[in-house]
């Protein structure tokens, strides 16, 4: 590869490109349509693309959030969440549930994805695959700052 084809950047200084290469390079990513509820029973549903399976045995799934969002605080409280696979047919509904709304708004009412049949409402029947995760291990990462 000729040297002119190499693009190097320090994330802290910006990439200088039209689109952020980090998102583009680590792709495609599965979309985890994360449903959760807080200790008072408020239900939440939101898409997270920084999601993946990290271990086969024991099966471990996880996702990351760019800030302390409702999904994160709910899972900290309830120690459980569901991951629903958002298939292409559901892309519009999935996008709609990423809206910034008040904590007590149930995003299952936005875009109208189906809710869990048992009324447990932590799953959602909309995805073709649904994984229920118990327990939580959360970690807050801090970037290396330039002095």
Ligand X SMILES: Cc1cc2nc3c(=O)[nH]c(=O)nc-3n(C[C@H](O)[C@H](O)[C@H](O)COP(=O)(O)O)c2cc1C
Does residue 31 interact with ligand X by CB under 6 A? yes
- Asked if 47 is part of the footprint of ligand X (rule: CB under 6 A), the reply reads yes
Closest to ligand X by CB, 49 vs 132, is 49
The one segment of 7-15, 95-103, 108-116, 132-140 that binds ligand X by CB under 6 A: 95-103
Region 117-146 residues binding ligand X, contact defined as CB under 6 A: none
Among 9, 11, 60, 95, binds ligand X (CB under 6 A): 95
Q: Work out how close the CB of 113 gets to ligand X at its nearest, in angstroms, rounded to a whole number.
A: 13
Nearest residue (CB) to ligand X, 19 versus 146? 19
71 near ligand X, judged by CB under 6 A: yes
The token pair that represents 86 in the structure block:
């958002």
SS (H, E, C) the chain: CCHHHCCCCCHHHCCCCCCCHHHHHCCCCCCEEEEEECCCCCEEEEEECCEEEEECCCCEEEECCCCCCHHHHHHHHHCEEEEEECCHHHHHHHHHCCCCCCCCCCHHHCCCCCCCCCCCCCCCCCCCCEEEEECCCCCCCCCCCCC
Q: Residues interacting with ligand X, by CB under 6 A?
A: 31, 44, 46-50, 65-66, 69-71, 95, 98, 100
């Amino acid at each position: 590869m000729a040297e002119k084809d190499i693009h190097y950047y320090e994330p802290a200084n910006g990439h200088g490109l039209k689109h952020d290469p980090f998102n583009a390079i680590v792709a495609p990513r599965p979309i985890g349509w994360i449903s959760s509820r807080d200790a008072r029973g408020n239900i939440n549903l939101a898409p997270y693309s920084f999601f993946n399976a990290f271990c086969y045995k024991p099966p471990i799934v996880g996702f990351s959030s760019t800030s302390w969002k409702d999904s994160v605080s709910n899972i900290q409280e309830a120690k459980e969440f569901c991951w629903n696979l958002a298939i292409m047919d559901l892309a519009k509904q999935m996008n709609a549930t990423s809206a910034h709304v008040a904590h007590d708004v149930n995003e299952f009412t936005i875009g109208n994805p189906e809710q869990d049949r048992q009324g447990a409402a932590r799953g959602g029947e909309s995805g073709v695959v649904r994984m229920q995760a118990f327990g939580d291990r959360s970690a807050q990462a801090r970037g290396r700052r330039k002095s």
